[in-house]
Chain A
C-alpha cells in the first residue's frame, strides 16, 4: 500500500511544504488571536486560512494525478513505453491515471480534516479535487484529439453552475464526468502511441518554438502556398459548439438574478460571432477595389467579395428578429434565448463560402499582414 500511495501522491517535498503551510496557516491565526486576546476572544478563532490551504492541496493533488502520471506529458516515459512491450491491457508502470482506492483513502483523510471547519461541507474539498483532475484529463484528451470529455465537461460545468450550493448534485455531475473521463482515458491509452503532430515538440521542450517555426514561411509562400492548410470546423463540432453556447446562455439566464439583464449573453454571442466571422474572412484579404473606387466607379457592390458579409448580416438580422417572433408566439424567455443562440451560431458556422474556398477562389486582394516580431520585410 505504501508503494501504491507513493505512486499517486506528489513528491515528499511537496507534501512536506503543503503540510508546513497548513500548520503555519493555523499557527499564525492562533498566534494573532492569542496576542490580541484582550481584543479578540479566543473562542471566536476559526482556522479559516488553513481551509484554503487544504483546498489548494486538493486542487494540486487532482491535477497531479493526471499531469505528472499520464505518459503524454513525459516525453521520455512515453517514448520508453512505445519501445517497450507495454499495452493498454497492462497497468501503467509509473502509476494509474484513473482513480484508485488509494485516492479514496487520501480524500477520506482530507474529508476528515475538513470536518474541523464549521459550516464547511467536506464534499467541497472532494469536488475541488475532482474538478482539477477532470480539467487535467480534458487537457490530455484534447491534445490527443479525443473530444468527448472536453465537450461533456463544458456541458457539465453549466450543470455545476445551476446546482449552485448543492454539493451532492455537484458531486453527482462530477461522478458522471469521471465515468466519461475513465472511459475516454482507457480508450486513448488503447490508441497509444498517439500522433501528436505539432504538439510533440511542445510537450518535449515546453515551447511551441519548433513547430511554429516550421510554419513560418513569410510572404508569399505562407499565403500562396500550394497546400495551405486552412482551419475548418467539421459539422459535428459546429453543432456541438452551437448547442454548448445555447446551453451556457440558458445557464447564465437562469443563474442571473435580474431577468432584464439575462439577454446580455445572447447579444454578446450574436455580435461577437458576426464580428469574428468578418475578421477571420477579411483579415489580409482586402476588397480588390477601395471605397473611393466603389463610389466613383459606381461599383457599390462587388459580388465576388461582398458575399463574405452576407452571413454576418443574416446572423444579425436573424439574431434580432427570431427572439421577438418566438416571444410573441408565447415562448418562455428562458428557452427563447438559448434556442436562438444555438440557431444563430449554426447560421454563423455552416453557410459558405468555407474559409478555404474563400481564400482560394474569392475575389479579393491578398495583403500580407506579417507580424514584425516574426518576419522581416526586404
Chain B
C-alpha cells in the first residue's frame, strides 16, 4: 500500500504539489492524469524517493521513505520506478542489462533467465538483444527500459508515462496487455501517469486527476462519470474535469477562420 500524506513540494517559488493526500491499496492500479506541468511526474518522483517533499511524507507498505537506511533500502527493493526519461548504458547489450537488473533485485537466476527471454519475445527485442543498446532505436530503448522495470518482479511499480517515448503500436498493445494482467493480480500495485486516457480506461482501478498541483478528483471511471455528469469515455470525462470549455474554444477557433 502507498500512502501520500499532506505532500507539498516547491522547486522554486511556485508550488508544484499542494497538500496531496492519496492512498493506493495493495493490488490497485492508479492512473495519474492531468495537463502538462501540473505535477504528475513530481508526485511520482516523491513516491519513488527521488526527492524529499518540503512537507508531508510517503509510506510504502508501512515504511516511511527516507526515514532510515533500512526502511529506504527495503522500500527500494519493493518499489521500482520508471522515469519518463531513463538513462540506459550505451555499451551493454539489452540482455546483459536486463540480467544485471534482475540480479540487482535478487531474482532467482533460472527464473530470471526465463523472464528475460519472455520479455524479449513480448516486446520483439530478441533480434537486438545481443547488440549494444546504443544501436537501438528510441522505441526499442523505451521497450528495454520497460522490460527492466518488469524484470525486477517488484510488487510496486511507479511508471511515469510508460506509453510515451516512441513505442510502436504493437508495443503499446503489449504493454497495455501486461498492465491489464498485472491489474488483475492482487499483489501488484501500480501507479502510472499518462496523458492518453484511452490507454488506461480499461484497466485502471482509479484515476487521480491533478491540476495546479492538487488532486481535483480521484475515483473509479464510474465515479468520475457521476461527478462530471458525463456518460462518455474517460477522455470526455477528463476534458470536463480539466477544461470544460474546450468544445466552446474549438468552435470559436473555427468560426473565426
Contacts and interface: CB of A to CB of B under 8 A. Distances in A.
Contact of A365 (B52, B90, B100, B133): B52
B86 A218 contact: yes
A284 to B, nearest CB: 11
B41 to A, nearest CB: 13
Given A293-B13, A363-B66, A378 B141 contact: yes
A28 interface: no
Contacts of B73: 226-227, 360
B105 A226 contact: yes
B157 to A, nearest CB: 12
Chain B at the A interface: mostly helix, strand, loop or mixed?
mixed
A70 interface: no
Contact of B134 (A297, A361, A364, A376): A376
B89 A361 contact: no
Interface string B149-179: 0000000000000000100000000000000
Contacts of B110: none
Contacts of A83: none
Interface stretch (A129-137, A209-217, A241-249): A209-217
B96 A213 contact: yes
B104 A288 contact: no
A362 B66 contact: yes
A98 to B, nearest CB: 41
Interface in A5-27: none
Contacts of B10: 289, 293, 297
B67 interface: yes
A370 interface: yes
- Of A216, A290, A292, A370, most buried by chain B (CB within 10 Å of CB) is A216
Given A213-B89, A378-B145, A288 B51 contact: yes
Contact of A366 (B50, B82, B104): B50
B69 A226 contact: no
B104 A375 contact: no
B67 A217 contact: no
Interface in A296-326: 296-297, 299, 304
B11 A289 contact: yes
Given A221-B101, A224-B76, A375 B69 contact: no
Interface string B84-118: 01111111100011001100110000000000000
Chain A at the B interface: mostly helix, strand, loop or mixed?
loop
B231 interface: no
Contact of A360 (B53, B69, B87, B97): B69
Nearest to A361: B66
Nearest to A370: B87
B54 interface: yes
A376 B69 contact: no
Given A289-B54, A378-B165, A219 B12 contact: no
A290 B12 contact: yes
A216 B92 contact: yes
B193 interface: no
Contacts of B91: 213, 216, 374
Interface in A334-370: 356-357, 360-366, 368, 370
B83 interface: yes
Using C-beta atoms within 8 Å of the partner chain, give the interface range for chain A: 35 or more
Contacts of A368: 87
A363 B85 contact: no
Given A360-B72, A374-B90, A378-B141, A217 B104 contact: yes
A219 B83 contact: yes
A296 B13 contact: yes
Contact of A226 (B11, B48, B67, B104): B104
A89 interface: no
Nearest to B72: A360
Interface in A219-238: 219-221, 224-227
Nearest to A302: B54
A24 to B, nearest CB: 46
B48 to A, nearest CB: 7
Nearest to B9: A288
A373 B87 CA distance: 12
A376 B67 contact: no
B85 A288 contact: no
Contact of B88 (A225, A363, A373, A378): A378
B89 A374 contact: yes
Contacts of A296: 12-13
B145 A288 contact: no
B63 interface: no
A224 B72 CA distance: 10
- Of B13, B76, B82, B88, most buried by chain A (CB within 10 Å of CB) is B88
Interface string B138-150: 1001100100100
A307 to B, nearest CB: 13
Given A304-B52, A373-B90, 9 more contacts: A217-B100, A221-B148, A224-B81, A225-B76, A227-B104, A364-B52, A366-B50, A375-B87, A377-B86
26 contacts: A213-B89, A213-B91, A217-B89, A220-B81, A220-B83, A221-B104, A221-B148, A224-B50, A288-B54, A289-B11, A290-B11, A293-B13, A297-B10, A297-B13, A299-B54, A360-B72, A361-B66, A362-B52, A362-B66, A366-B49, A374-B91, A375-B89, A376-B87, A377-B85, A377-B86, A378-B141
Interface of A: 213-214, 216-221, 224-227, 288-290, 292-293, 296-297, 299, 304, 356-357, 360-366, 368, 370, 373-378
